[in-house]
Amino acid sequence: MSGNRGVLYQGRGEVEVADISYPEFVLRDGPGVNPANVGREVPHGAILKVVATNICGSDQHMVRGRTTAPEGLVLGHEITGEVVEKGPGVEFIEVGDLVSVPFNIACGRCVNCKARRTEICLNVNPDRPGSAYGYVDMGGWVGGQAQFVLVPYADWNLLKFPDREQALEKILDLTMLSDIFPTGYHGCVTAGVGVGSSVYVAGAGPVGLAAAASAQLLGAAVVIVGDLNDERLAQARGFGCETINISAGDPGDQIEELLGTPAVDCAVDAVGFEAHGTGDKASEEAPASVLNTAMDVTKAGGSIGIPGLYVTGDPGAADDAAKEGSLSIRFGLGWSKSHAFFTGQCPVMKYHRQLMEAILNDRVQIAKAVNAVAIPLEDAPEGYQSFDKGAASKYVLDPNGYLSTG
């Protein structure tokens, strides 16, 4: 049996890299593991040697203490790896395959999976529909910011790359298939982005930048990205987006200066519940601000894609209502404008194969768009700190030396 190292959440603002158990084909007890899942056998699973695993803004919510995540939780839901062992129930995936792992854990058997709603699988989390690796209240499946990780239902969940050498050449792009590229794309698809669209993307973090690149891939005429961080806005301008700094004034006024009209065809919320206000209130946390802005700037009859994370439990929220996920959104405004709202996790498997082909055929450079930066696994704490301070980078951890980290 090999050893294993992983990134652990150790309380507000603290992560550490430590020795963890090597995966087995059974889910053992541990921090965050649902008691009903303890002892669950996984003959349909595969053990991966992790090629790349990314730090996500959703991880940062936990590390900031903005969820009920327990100390000792192994983090990481964005995983790309090489199969090194497979269970007796795995028929088609083979040892040596290089694969992308959707962050949604799905059984492939339930009514939701059969309807391509893998983000709300009914059989992997005893508490509620939907599950993910290394995430609070998601069933307790061990995270992938590690050297090795177990993936259940391998034949269903794993996306095999068709050519190993080609995949390794584009691995910084392909590692975005596990989450942020499909998530940004999903936000745009549900918002109705198409040829000639004008799109407002709230947030210039990695998901927002992935959404902006996705909007371009879908044929948008103009993509406007809003954020407070000038470095991240510069990253968006670097691949052809218009930008607004929401601290500089009302987003609608700034959009009107760019377009000649204060309304866009559709909007994407890539920020979520740790949003800030606009204008002179930009320094204040205002969890409903992005949703209200999206309704304000989206035309009547438009749609708003909401891949940004919202939670039911936020112990760090400014008021009691927000601690339970209750936000003061201007629903009457959205109703009066006949807006459509699309929420929830992205069903990664709905999109990842097509997006893989777009990457392999040079139709998109997603790693460049989000400024992917590879760092060693042992540098994960520094990567978390830098990302938390607003670095315009997507940090990709290299647990096993597959990437050129210098």
Average of pLDDT values for 129-155? Answer: 96
Residues 329 and 352 in one domain: no
Whether 403 is covered by a domain: the verdict is: no
pTM here is 0.96
pLDDT at 405 over 50: no
**What CATH number did the domain enclosing 298 receive?**
3.40.50.720
Residue 31 sits in the same domain as residue 164: yes
pLDDT at 404 over 80: no
Among candidate residues 304, 319, 342, the one where a domain is terminated:
342
Do residue 149 and residue 187 come from a single domain? no
Same domain, yes or no, for 174 and 242?
Answer: no
For the cut 50, the answer to whether the pLDDT of residue 134 exceeds it is: yes
- Average pLDDT, stretch 359-381? 97
Could you report the per-residue pLDDT of 261-290, keeping only the tens digit for each?
Answer: 999 999 999 999 989 999 988 888 888 999
Average pLDDT over residues 356-372: 98
Residue 247 has pLDDT above 70, yes or no: yes
* pLDDT at 80 (0 to 100): 98
- Same domain for 185 and 175, yes or no, is no
Q: Is residue 405 part of a domain?
A: no
Please indicate, yes or no, if residue 207 is contained in any of the structural domains: yes
> Residue 360 has what pLDDT?
98
Q: Which domain, by its residues, includes 220? A: 181-342
3 state SS for the chain = CCCCEEEEECCCCCEEEEECCCCCCEECCCCCCCHHHCCEECCCCEEEEEEEEECCHHHHHHHCCCCCCCCCCECCCCEEEEEEEECCCCCCCCCCCEEEECCECCCCCCHHHHCCCHHHCCCCCCCCCCCECCCCCCCCCCCCCECEEEECCHHHHCEECCCHHHHHHCHHHHHHHHCHHHHHHHHHHHHCCCCCCEEEEECCCHHHHHHHHHHHHCCCCEEEEEECCHHHHHHHHCCCCEEEEHHHCCHHHHHHHHHCCCCEEEEEECCCCCCECCHHHCCCECCCHHHHHHHHHEEEEEEEECCCCCCCCCCCCCCHHHHCCCCCCCHHHHHHCCCEEECCCCCHHHCHHHHHHHHHCCCCCHHHHHCEEEEEHHHHHHHHHHHHCCCCCEEEEECCCCCCCC
**Is 16 contained in some domain?**
yes
Confidence of residue 5 (pLDDT cuts 50, 70, 90): very high
335 and 352: one domain? no
Lowest mean pLDDT among 122-131, 176-185, 278-287, 373-382: 278-287
What is residue 220's predicted lDDT score, i.e. its pLDDT?
98
For 46-96, write each residue's pLDDT tens digit: 999 999 999 999 999 999 989 989 999 999 999 999 999 999 999 999 999
Same domain? 165 vs 280: no
Give me the mean pLDDT over the 175-201 stretch.
98
CATH number at residue 62: 3.90.180.10
**Does residue 202 form part of some domain?**
yes
Does 271 lie in the same domain as 393?
A: no
What total of structural domains would you count in the chain?
2
In a domain, 158, yes or no: yes
**Both 102 and 213 in a single domain?**
no
pLDDT of 406 above 50:
no
Residue-wise pLDDT for 293-312, tens only, equals 999 999 999 999 999 999 88
Same domain, 99 and 148: yes
Same-domain status, 211 and 246: yes
Claim to verify: residue 295 and residue 189 sit in the same structural domain: yes
